[in-house]
Amino acid sequence: MTLVYVALGANLAEPEQQLNQAVAALKKIAVNGDVTVSSYYRSTPMGDVVQPDYVNAVACFNTHLEPIELLNSLQDIEQQQGRVRNERWGPRTLDLDLLLYGLHIIDIPRLQVPHYGMKERSFVLIPLAEIAEDLILPCHQALKSLLTPEMQQSLHKIPNKS
């Protein structure tokens, strides 16, 4: 059994509802259906593509799935919710990124864990810190050490998710 952290993001087709559906789907692959989910946060999109703001969160759960099996499951959930991969950092109905797989470091063509951009992304770090405040990353760096006041100010918590 491995503790995993998954980032959730959406900015099309009722983003909060997309995240709610994704959480329900994650419960089906989590051990005993137990999933911890951060608050939902509104964030400005990355890149130069004009698009709506995102709704982001981070979920944490235990799984018996191996890393590639978990990645396949996450991508299946994205597809079931209408994910189309048209352009990098473009709008999407749902994006599920495997951030951490226990303390494992994985670097294979289809999967990089810890997620390659997580240390710079407020929409990942702030929700992650909300549910795992004392987390130490596989590189032995404390999550808290990555948080800045600017990151805190760049996100807006959405009241009363679900």
Active site residues: 83, 92, 95, 97
Q: Which residues of 12-27 are buried (b: 16+ CB within 10 A; e: fewer)?
A: beebbebbbbbbebbe
Q: Which of 131, 37, 64 is nearest to 73 (CA)?
A: 64
3 state SS of 40 = strand
The amino acid occupying position 153 is Q
